[in-house]
Chain A
């Protein structure tokens, strides 16, 4: 435990021995004392308690020399009588033993005191952290405690935007070398990959050594503390690292607790929001759609009435009422879908299904809007099943078909093809319409985007394609527009995951 020699402590020990000489001289003058060895035990004890084991041993040796001076012949270290030699050796052994024991006692006492200090500090840390309401406050408190406990400069770094790490925190981000931020970043990265240590040392040329400590909940690091170790070239002592770890653990526990509390609160809030949204959606759906159902139904009855159907102009009007009501209903459906998507309430019901069934379902649903158009179906005769929510993919396909019908001249065909490419099903809808330029190809899936070139001819809210994309992506698929440029048509490619190949029992058929 004795790592270095403190000359001052030895001087103190010598002074204590010298001081003991005063009562020794007085004692010898007053009484014919056989030996003053006992007097010199006192400075050994005092040196052990105040200065430690080493000075106590020195005091014992010095005391023995002094004792010998008091044997006759007085004031000479010469020892003549054998009994005096025995006396001297025994008292030296006693002094040495007492010195060592008292020295150990002192070390033990110091350790207890240090532990008590650390416990007090930790107690202060945890009670302070308990009052912290957010992550930043916890970072600050941990950094301040670290600086206090280690009595060193501490710089706190946190992950900022764009992967850069910035110094933050209460000690006003003391000036620090720019390399330090970089070291903190690479330390955080190395720790998020493997089970590397939570503490490491960065040696910055000309900027000294820094102890880097990761702070955060399990998982990727959220913050790094850099403790200045100075430029003496020593590795930080085990004690410093241990107390740093202690503080870090306390901080991490608090961050975890804070995360749990927050997750709980968010879940409750989410449940309330979900319930509210469901009620709202149901009532919007009911309140808007019921009148529409009446309008559409009534118009369809009118269209069939002999008085109306005999008069083409009237029959056209009543058909228009029905078809506009249908269009309004689809817009409402789009809005409800967007609400569902934004609320994160989209939960696909996966099924393994023949993609041709989805294509045919979409064609049937969109039949009215595609009427008068040539639709070419180029499906392979044999294709594997896909694993998707058929209703969502059907709706995505309807939106894409409607979009194609909206932007391509009526005389041009719309082609639907399907095939397996690289382990996925490619479903493509090709039109020979206005096509897309580069910018439009990037933008068409953005909500509410509608091509500027077509702003006046095309109706609709522009939601269709962004809904289509969200639905496809929710099914683990993707969607990609291809166009050779304006006027050259558009090909929408939908990629869908295939169903796992399964062995189907033989003998049921054929």
Chain B
């Protein structure tokens, strides 16, 4: 069964790949309410066919498909597919998440999830697709602003001085603003000569960067840790979603 909506309009097209009809149903309603267009597939085969025919902007990929492993769909897509991919995964599989991110998934969402969380992730990864080349030259989140071109960073309007390595880390995360990057992906960018170097270097560098740009380094608001996976520079939308008020202090 292949279904797809034929709504008129220029909203981004989302291909939902999941064998559970109830999941597809709420995803369809939730996305359509926000002006997205939807295509649905319930098997890996359908998913690849629809991806070729419809060229969706975003694929929501469930890992437990009846005919193939979701990871193999990702591999097949990544050869040519330019759109974004968000993986729907279950808990307790951090290694799998890391493997999928490194195989080219843009992000993952752990089941069960709320629509608001998913939409926030979807918007972040779609921005990359809509603006090829990646990052905006100017990043703003909370009191932090980063001018990537001019290498200027300020917190609440006060300029912050970063070491070249600290700025490099901020720039990589900023280039994938809102996306989680695995430790290995970051190591490759920051230490291209020896990306297999001790991940502790990255952790210490992150600690120092947080000391400079986080209002409260003990409770980072912008540079968040995804345990056992990597780091993410939150977008304003993500920051608002977690309700990051000063209530925590």
Could you list which residues of chain A lie within 8 angstroms of chain B, going by C-beta atoms?
285-286, 289-298, 300-301, 304-305, 322, 325-326, 329, 333, 349, 351-354, 356-358, 360-361, 363-364, 367, 371, 374-377, 379, 381, 385, 390-391, 394, 502, 504-505, 508-510
A-B contact count (CB 8 A): 122
Q: Is the CB of A301 within 8 A of B115?
A: yes
- Could you say which of A289, A356, A364, A502 contacts B112, with CB atoms under 8 Å apart? A289
Q: Does B20 contact A (CB under 8 A)?
A: yes
Instruction: Tell me the minimal C-beta distance from A412 to chain B in angstroms.
Output: 15
Which residues of B201-249 are within 8 A (CB) of A? 201, 203-205, 207-208, 216-220, 224-225, 227-228, 242-243, 247-249
Q: Which residues of A contact B217 (CB under 8 A)?
A: 381
Q: Does B188 contact A (CB under 8 A)?
A: no
Q: Which residues of B contact A509 (CB under 8 A)?
A: 163, 165-166, 204-205, 208
Q: Which residues of A contact B29 (CB under 8 A)?
A: 298, 301
Q: Does B30 contact A (CB under 8 A)?
A: yes
Instruction: Tell me the minimal C-beta distance from A469 to chain B in angstroms.
Output: 19
Instruction: Tell me the minimal C-beta distance from A364 to chain B in angstroms.
Output: 7
CA distance A510 to B115 in the complex (A): 42
CA distance A286 to B112 in the complex (A): 11
Q: Is the CB of B203 within 8 A of A353?
A: yes
Q: Does B94 contact A (CB under 8 A)?
A: yes
Q: Is the CB of A296 within 8 A of B166?
A: no
Q: Which residues of B contact A301 (CB under 8 A)?
A: 26, 29-30, 33, 115
Cβ contacts A to B, 27 pairs, < 8 Å: A289-B111, A290-B111, A293-B20, A293-B23, A293-B113, A294-B22, A297-B113, A297-B114, A298-B25, A298-B26, A300-B30, A304-B116, A322-B114, A349-B94, A353-B227, A360-B224, A361-B225, A363-B219, A363-B248, A364-B224, A371-B243, A381-B217, A394-B227, A508-B201, A509-B163, A509-B165, A510-B208
Q: Which residues of B contact A390 (CB under 8 A)?
A: 227-228
Q: Is the CB of B218 within 8 A of A289?
A: no
Instruction: Tell me the minimal C-beta distance from A73 to chain B in angstroms.
Output: 116
- Could you say which of A322, A349, A353, A360 contacts B219, with CB atoms under 8 Å apart? A360
Known: A301-B33, A356-B218. A391 touches B227 (CB 8 A): yes
Q: Is the CB of B90 within 8 A of A391?
A: no
| Interface SS, A side | helix
Instruction: Tell me the minimal C-beta distance from A320 to chain B in angstroms.
Output: 13
B contact residues, total (Cβ < 8 Å): 45
Instruction: Tell me the minimal C-beta distance from B28 to chain A in angstroms.
Output: 9
Known: A297-B23, A367-B242, A502-B200. A508 touches B228 (CB 8 A): no
Known: A293-B113, A509-B165. A381 touches B30 (CB 8 A): no
Q: Which residues of A contact B228 (CB under 8 A)?
A: 349, 351, 390-391
Q: Is the CB of B227 within 8 A of A297?
A: no
Q: Which residues of B contact A505 (CB under 8 A)?
A: 201
Instruction: Tell me the minimal C-beta distance from B24 to chain A in angstroms.
Output: 9
- Could you say which of A285, A294, A351, A385 contacts B20, with CB atoms under 8 Å apart? A294
Q: Is the CB of A293 within 8 A of B111?
A: yes
CA distance A353 to B231 in the complex (A): 13
Q: Which residues of B contact A363 (CB under 8 A)?
A: 219, 248
CA distance A343 to B130 in the complex (A): 49
Instruction: Tell me the minimal C-beta distance from B153 to chain A in angstroms.
Output: 15
Could you list which residues of chain B lie within 8 angstroms of chain A, going by C-beta atoms?
20, 22-23, 25-27, 29-30, 33, 64, 90-92, 94, 111-116, 163, 165-166, 198, 200-201, 203-205, 207-208, 216-220, 224-225, 227-228, 242-243, 247-249
CA distance A92 to B222 in the complex (A): 116
- Could you say which of A325, A360, A504 contacts B204, with CB atoms under 8 Å apart? A504
- Could you say which of A296, A305, A357 contacts B113, with CB atoms under 8 Å apart? A296
Instruction: Tell me the minimal C-beta distance from B219 to chain A in angstroms.
Output: 5
Q: Is the CB of B115 within 8 A of A297?
A: yes
Q: Is the CB of B248 within 8 A of A375?
A: yes
Q: Which residues of A contact B242 (CB under 8 A)?
A: 364, 367
Instruction: Tell me the minimal C-beta distance from B114 to chain A in angstroms.
Output: 4
Q: Is the CB of B26 within 8 A of A391?
A: no
Interface centre among A300, A326, A356, A505 (most CB of B within 10 A): A300
Q: Is the CB of B22 within 8 A of A298?
A: yes
Q: Is the CB of B163 within 8 A of A357?
A: no
- Could you say which of A297, A304, A375 contacts B27, with CB atoms under 8 Å apart? A297
Q: Is the CB of A367 within 8 A of B243?
A: yes
Q: Which residues of B contact A291 (CB under 8 A)?
A: 22
CA distance A510 to B163 in the complex (A): 5
CA distance A351 to B217 in the complex (A): 21
Q: Is the CB of B165 within 8 A of A297?
A: no
Q: Is the CB of B26 within 8 A of A294?
A: yes
Q: Which residues of B contact A300 (CB under 8 A)?
A: 26, 30, 114-116
CA distance A286 to B225 in the complex (A): 28
Q: Is the CB of A297 within 8 A of B30?
A: yes
Q: Which residues of B contact A352 (CB under 8 A)?
A: 200, 203
- Chain B's closest residue to A394 (CB) is B227
Instruction: Tell me the minimal C-beta distance from B44 to chain A in angstroms.
Output: 17
Instruction: Tell me the minimal C-beta distance from A467 to chain B in angstroms.
Output: 13
CA distance A361 to B242 in the complex (A): 12
CA distance A361 to B20 in the complex (A): 30
- Could you say which of A298, A375, A391 contacts B92, with CB atoms under 8 Å apart? A391
Q: Which residues of B contact A329 (CB under 8 A)?
A: 112
CA distance A505 to B163 in the complex (A): 16
Q: Is the CB of B112 within 8 A of A508?
A: no
- Chain A's closest residue to B32 (CB) is A301
Instruction: Tell me the minimal C-beta distance from A236 to chain B in angstroms.
Output: 63
- Could you say which of B90, B205, B225 contacts A508, with CB atoms under 8 Å apart? B205
CA distance A136 to B15 in the complex (A): 67
Instruction: Tell me the minimal C-beta distance from B194 to chain A in angstroms.
Output: 11
- Could you say which of A298, A325, A377 contacts B249, with CB atoms under 8 Å apart? A377
CA distance A490 to B27 in the complex (A): 43
- Could you say which of A286, A290, A508 contacts B23, with CB atoms under 8 Å apart? A290
CA distance A352 to B228 in the complex (A): 10
- Chain B's closest residue to A368 (CB) is B243
Q: Which residues of A contact B114 (CB under 8 A)?
A: 296-297, 300, 322
Q: Which residues of B contact A322 (CB under 8 A)?
A: 114
- Could you say which of B33, B111, B204, B205 contacts A304, with CB atoms under 8 Å apart? B33
- Could you say which of B26, B224, B249 contacts A376, with CB atoms under 8 Å apart? B249
Q: Which residues of B contact A297 (CB under 8 A)?
A: 23, 26-27, 30, 112-115
- Chain B's closest residue to A285 (CB) is B90
Instruction: Tell me the minimal C-beta distance from A196 to chain B in angstroms.
Output: 48
Instruction: Tell me the minimal C-beta distance from A232 to chain B in angstroms.
Output: 71
Q: Which residues of B contact A376 (CB under 8 A)?
A: 249
- Could you say which of A293, A325, A357, A375 contacts B227, with CB atoms under 8 Å apart? A357
Instruction: Tell me the minimal C-beta distance from B48 to chain A in angstroms.
Output: 23
